[in-house]
Amino acid sequence: MNLNTDAPVAKRNVPQRQVNPTLVLLFIVLVAVVLTWFLDSGQFQRSGKIVVPGTYQVIDKSFTFEHVLGFSAQDKANHVQPVSLKDGLMAIPAGIVKQSGLIVMVLFIGGMFGVLEQAGVITASLERLLSVTKGNIYLMVPFLMLVFSAGSTFMGLAKEYLLVIPIVVALMNRLGLPSILGLAIVAIAVKVGYLASVTNPYALTIAQPLVGVQIFSGVGMRLLTYFVFMFFGVLFVLAAIRRHGKLANAAVEFLPTRLSKLHLAMSLTLLVGVVGMVYGANHWHWKNEALSAYYLFLSMIFAVMSGMGASVSADAFITGMKKVLIAGLLIGLATAVDIVLVQGRVIDTLINDLLHLVGQHGAYISTYGMFVCQLLLDIVIPSTSGQAAVTMPILGPLGQLSGVTPQTTVLAFLLGNGLTNMITPTSSGLLIFLASAQIGWGQWAKFVYPLFLFFTALSLGMLTLAVFVGY
């Protein structure tokens, strides 16, 4: 009798098996390889990275069964051939090598937090925060999301938040909530910030000049978009928290606590370190290699301050790196998709075909077509600046022929690009967020999919308003 009663409870406590994200990305790499066999190869002429409108041309290609398997000799110098299965596999290590700077940066961030965790700084700081706020999750969540999204939408911060994801995840765990909610607080806020890009320099300094408008102009509509999406984003996270029922913090006593002098000093050093990182990235244009060295430097400082000793600190650093190791493979697989499509010369074909969605069907339909086009293109071009350089020179003139203003064209780009980056497994930015929080892509996709659908409908509504008011 007792066995039958306990069985359902035990079953509920067993976590559901998630599809390994490496399998998802391996499948996408295979799909990219097959696309190079069946799609026409072609290319636009480019001025630097900027596409020249109206210059797309199909390139002749031929292949045999032996070539598909990778057994025949390839004459890449004289004509284009589809990507073979062998080359598709070789694109994976090539992708890891190409993104080695980003991968090392992620590993060093994990190592730094391993040192901080071993020193007890994170736990002590969270206890202090919870004792001050009495664990009021409904106060902390909106505040944190507004802070994170403001940095994203006004300054273009994204990778910089890798430092805070483990802390916010630990905060949610301390309250008895799952890690995915800690990730959602940061990721949804950052993605909404990029989606609106009120003054985001990484998106606007490329997109707006390419359609002939002043950089940072048209702030009003983007600011409205930011507040509308943030409102619903915060509601989504709070509703997800509420779905978990009675919060664990109801049974936790938040006794008054104070940080020790050592923990306070290390916490302040981390804060100063974050400010220095943001300054270096924006004013000295630090890239991944410089940022990696900076995180290693901070790790050494924390190790010395903690007094743990060299061996213990090194072990903690390596343990932290192991927790985010899978990120390296995922980033390499995502980059392999781009390598395959470029090698097979089909990226420009996809761009050219998708741009036909816009057509000349009037302002409203053309605007919706731009939005859908940007949504789909972001899967193969997840870079915000890269997608702007490819699509804006073409969509700008097409939009004007259909009665779509340049500012609305930019807004359609921002909304489409921002939404897809919230869920696509080919986005290295999303993958490193997931790795930092130790959340699988399948678990995240299932969690955020309802918000993605709602945001899609909301985006169409904002674009309708933009066309209606002549934005």
- Give pLDDT tens digits along the chain (471 positions): 343 434 343 344 444 455 677 888 888 889 989 988 888 888 888 777 677 777 888 888 877 766 767 666 555 555 678 888 889 999 999 999 988 888 898 889 889 888 988 888 877 776 776 666 666 788 888 988 998 898 889 878 787 788 788 888 988 888 888 999 999 999 999 999 999 999 888 788 888 888 888 888 888 999 999 999 999 999 999 999 988 764 444 444 555 567 788 888 988 898 888 788 878 877 888 888 888 999 899 999 999 998 898 999 999 999 988 887 877 888 888 888 889 988 888 888 888 887 777 766 788 998 999 999 888 888 888 778 778 888 888 888 788 778 889 999 999 999 998 898 899 888 888 888 998 888 988 899 999 999 999 999 999 999 999 999 999
CA distances from 441 to 20, 30, 265 (A): 8, 18, 36
pLDDT at residue number 250: 42
Contact residues for 185 (Cβ-Cβ < 8 A; gap 6+): 141, 144, 145, 148, 168, 172, 237
Output the pTM of the full model: 0.78
- For residue 234, CA distances in Å to 129, 155, 176, 221 come to 20, 20, 19, 20
Query: What's the pLDDT score for residue 245?
Result: 60
Res 149: pLDDT: 93
Selection from 85, 106, 53 nearest residue 393 by Cα: 53
Neighbours of 331 (CB within 10 A): 25
Round to whole Å and give the CA distance between 460 and 3.
53
Supply the pLDDT for residue 462: 96
374 and 415 Cβ atoms separated by less than 8 Å: yes
Q: Distances in Å between the alpha carbon of 203 and those of 132, 151, 229, 350, 421?
A: 38, 14, 18, 22, 13
Tokens of 333: 């697989």
Residue bearing tokens 């997608």: 387
What is the four-CA torsion angle of 454, 458, 459, 461, rounded to 10 degrees? 150
Q: Residue 401: its pLDDT value, please?
A: 74
> What does the block give as tokens for 205?
């300094």
Instruction: Indicate the domain borders of the chain.
Output: 111-311
Can you tell me the distance from the alpha carbon of 225 to that of 202, in angstroms, rounded to the nearest whole number? 18
Write the burial class of residue 41 (CB in 10 Å: 0-12 exposed, 13-18 middle, 19+ buried): buried
